[in-house]
Amino acid sequence: MVIANDLAERLDRTAERVRKQTGVSLAFAGSVTPAKDLALGHFAGPTLGVLPGVVLRYDEGLGGRAVASRRPIAVNDYFSCDQITHRYDLIIRAEGIRSIAAVPVVVDRRPVALIYAAYRTDEIVGDRLQDGLKDEARALEQELVTVHALRGSHDELHADLGSMRGRVREAYNELRTLGRRVSDPEVERAIHHIAQRLIEPGADAQPLRNLTGRELDVLALASSGLPNKTIADRLGLTLHTVKGYMKSAMSKFHATTRLEAVVIARRAGLLP
């Protein structure tokens, strides 16, 4: 699950909310790197500038340990705690932190961030503070999962629409080609009307009505990315004739490329 783009701003807000609601000396957060290390970068409250930018190694210190275990950790005397390594004691001491709690944010069974609350005083990390941190972590997990699900649905919808448009364009091209091959005028008109139902009228269609049927046939096949030689084979025309129709259509649209002519025709509602 890719959530990096959604995480940073949410961690900033979470840290601010934790400090406001709990009154701790410092609330902060870090994101888990691909190497499973923890990069500290989101702070609410005064800091002496030692912690920002620090990267904690996996399973080292209180933060690294919380990431590795995927469990909350709280200590009232950081320096005497035997549950963690003391690789970062100098940094913690420089910031004046004494008691600290950390709760991992876990998404899809993988820790993606860590939320901290710390005191510089003799205050004890109680159940209320720990419960508040856990609630914030769970809320953030739910936000990230929801955003990911909505984005996935949005991307899937766009993919489905793109595929559907491709099928509509192919059907339109086949109907126009078929219409040119039948000998019965009535059948040809019926096929033409069916093809036109696949097109949504465009607001700019009026100035482009002088486009001939053959020019539109060539543009329709070009819109599918077909080269002139294939278009000629599909329509039973010579390559020279196809190039002539394309040049004429481009001239009427004041287009400098085939692609530009196709785009103009679509905007005008002449192509699906």
In the predicted model, what is the mean pLDDT of the chain? 85
Burial of 55 (0-12, 13-18, 19+ CB in 10 A): middle
pLDDT tens, position by position, 222-240: 888 888 898 888 888 999 9
**Predicted pLDDT of residue 203:** 45
Closest to 223 in 3D by CA, of 256, 249, 261, 253? 261
Distance CA 117, CA 29 (A): 9
**Predicted pLDDT of residue 31:** 94
**Predicted pLDDT of residue 149:** 65
Q: Which residue has the tokens 């783009």?
A: 5
- Kindly give the parts of the chain with pLDDT less than 50: 1-3, 153-154, 157, 203-207
CA distance to 100, 114, 227, per residue, from 88 (Å): 13, 16, 65
Strand pairing report for 38-44 and 55-56: antiparallel
Percent of the chain with pLDDT over 70: 87
**Predicted pLDDT of residue 258:** 85
What is the set of domains in the chain, with CATH numbers?
A: 4-153 (3.30.450.40), 156-267 (1.10.10.10)
Strand pairing report for 99-107 and 73-75: antiparallel
pTM: 0.56
